[in-house]
Amino acid sequence: MELTKKDYIFQDIKKLKGIGVQLSKYLKKKKIEKIKDVLFNLPYSETDRSTISKLNELEIGKIQTIRVRVKKLNFPRIRNLPNKINCEDETGEIDIVYFNSREGYLRKIFPLDSWVVISGKINFFRNKYQITNPDYVTALKNKEYVVKNVKKYSLTKGINEKKYRSINEKIIQNLPIIDDWLSEDFIKKNKLIDWNESIKRLHETGESKDLQSKSYRRLVFDEICANFLTLSKNRKRIKKLKKNKKISEKISNKILRNLPFKLTQGQHEALNDINQDLKSNKRMFRILQGDVGSGKTIVSLLSISNIIESNYQCAFMGPTEILSIQHYKLAKKIFKNTQYKIEFLSGKTMQSKKKRILKQLENGEINLLIGTHSLFQKKIKFKKLGYVVIDEQHKFGVKQRSDLALKGGKDCDVLLMSATPIPRTVMMSIYGDMDISKIKDKPSVRKKIITLSKPEKKIDELWPFIAKQISQDNQIFWVCPLIEESKFLDYSSAKNKFNFIIKKFPNKVGLIHGALEKNEKDEILQKFLNKKIFILVSTTVIEVGIDFPNANLIIIENANKFGLAQLHQLRGRVGRGEKQGTCILLFKEGLSENAIKRLKILKQSDDGFYIAEEDLKLRGFGDLIGFQQSGLKNFRFADPIIHQDLFKLAENYITNNLSNINHKKYNFLLKLFDKAEIINVSEI
């Protein structure tokens, strides 16, 4: 019986009476495909129809509910004229107007001399109140159907609001009593409410708008627990896997001695963490976090040399071709005095070369293969894959990185790298299944980027400075928020800015934005790398991690419109060589207090982790553009700032109940938040 109850919640929405093919297509656009999706599509506001107003109390443009007597029905025989029903109460008269409605239907719902309840938007036409195509009309005896607060839901074009509410109400009414996965004692102790009650209250009251209401907090707690539970199950499975110990530090120590620079303390600690994992008989699944320019890649390459010396092959994957080529060139440089066979593979690799690489890879002749997501392809087979490094890992899905790691079987260790600073408050919710290493310091040779702010009205003062930079062989990024001008937003347009700047510096300016094809972007970036162009006008698509050693100036327009973390990432594109880097933040006058705070923090600090924390405090998790774009915002209801206490409570709950983690009662929770499939594919 319990299984049947739960099955109802996961039933396809198309099986419900009244939902045809067309309506199900519209619902799918709103990601409503199962009954549970209706439960999770919470009302965002409500229309007050609860007060019955007299006709002399009506307000034009407002939705109101009236109780009136049907006085006269007027059905003109002239085509295109509306049908009109004249109604009254003791204080006045009103016309109810219908376009394209059948006479028989109107006679049925408006019987002459009867009293009816009507709700709709009040208009005024020819000195008389009227309602055109009212939302509700019902007999006086059924007034409870209309006289209430009506919930409003986020819907897409093609879905009738009244029809959707009717579907929603039927689902809530038929919702079976689910055995709660939380104990009564835990619910009471932590001031939560049971699952069924929370869902009903979220749809039947106004509690869905209050993020700290008991019903909303229950939903948030469940979502966080589903997330932590998924990560814990994954972590437990990873730790169970036994593998052969593999490490030889002979070559990495030799490379270290020959490097033209010394590793930072953070790099040494991260390398030690990785080496300890490699020496262990438990499989490594580690995330290496490092701020922009902290030197994560060199750490990963040193660890790769240890694996190769242990007679295993390695794969190094980057999110884009240009970034992967950069890694390939660095690897060739670092390993120039070794016998390592290193190859590069991408979607653009010539077929003949690709065929040769695949054969050598399968024969074990290639020690290190570097490339893009093309490394995922089934036909790519390693003889003895022992280590996978994935850069900017948030751009790859769990299934994708599983596919690559599984190529090496149980002996394959996995290192993920990310330059996206994650605040402490969300670390566990994203990386709870991994061990974490952080590189917080930066190489001493790298100078701190000078960060300046300037009002946009003084933009003309920049041209002599830019001309001087070009004369000194320095390159410039010019970042704008939008591709084209918007009628509604006072943002600069990258295209217009490009047209403007190229007149001042002919043949020295390039343009890159998100609407370009991948090969077009790569071509322009390559021109910039080869110093064919000196100014690159861009939206925010500049790749994280790519080294442009001659780019030493970045100008960011409308800087107050960007998040702090995003500005810090953009700033990290310059000053990656030996020269001093400069970041100029252009802003319009009349900045908000928050915008002033953000610019001040950025000018004072170059610590990406601190900046991410401050950004979270100032803007809130839901507004962190960088998180949403990078796929890190993985909660629908929970907010790490608003619900900090629930994150701690959920983490403690899952940690304390790890022994019961395989209990079937948790399967409902995982399925509810679409985590069951993730666990099924996450074999790493």
pLDDT, one tens digit per residue, over 168-180 is 989 998 888 888 8
Per residue in 38-75, pLDDT (tens digit) is 999 999 888 888 889 999 999 999 999 999 999 999 99
Give CA–CA dist 276/266, Å, rounded: 15
Q: What pLDDT shows up at residue 488? A: 53
**Angle between the N-to-C axes of helices 608-619 and 424-431, in degrees from 0 to 180, rounded to the nearest 10:** 100
Domain 46-152 has CATH 2.40.50.840: no
Per residue in 287-330, pLDDT (tens digit) is 898 877 788 999 999 999 999 988 999 999 887 887 888 899 99
E strands in 305-412: 313-317, 342-345, 368-371, 385-391
In this structure, CATH architecture of domain 450-605: 3-Layer(aba) Sandwich (3.40)
Q: Which residue has the tokens 């001040």?
A: 600
Report the candidate in 139, 140, 135 with the shortest Cα–Cα distance to residue 121. 135
Which tokens in the block code for residue 436?
């974490």
Model confidence at 387: pLDDT above 80: yes
Give CA–CA dist 128/135, Å, rounded: 19
**Angle between the N-to-C axes of helices 593-604 and 564-571, in degrees from 0 to 180, rounded to the nearest 10:** 40
Model confidence at 136: pLDDT above 80: yes
Specify the CATH number for 263-439; select among 1.20.1110.10, 3.40.50.300, 3.40.50.10800, 3.40.309.10: 3.40.50.300
Q: What pLDDT shows up at residue 319? A: 79
Q: Which residues share a beta bridge with 315?
A: 369, 388
Which tokens in the block code for residue 250?
């002979």
> 322: Cβ–Cβ under 8 A, 6 or more apart, which residues?
522, 525, 526, 529, 543, 546
Residue 425 binned pLDDT confidence (cut-offs 50, 70, 90): low
User: Could you tell me if 407 and 385 are in contact, meaning their C-beta atoms sit under 8 angstroms apart?
Assistant: yes
Give CA–CA dist 409/256, Å, rounded: 30
263-439 matches 46-152 in CATH topology: no
Give CA–CA dist 501/503, Å, rounded: 5
Burial class (CB in 10 A: 0-12, 13-18, 19+), 132: middle
Q: What pLDDT shows up at residue 70? A: 96
Mean pLDDT, the chain, whole residue set: 84
Domain boundaries, the chain: 46-152, 263-439, 450-605
Give CA–CA dist 636/40, Å, rounded: 9
N residues, the chain: 684
Dihedral angle sign, alpha carbons of residues 628, 634, 638, 644: negative
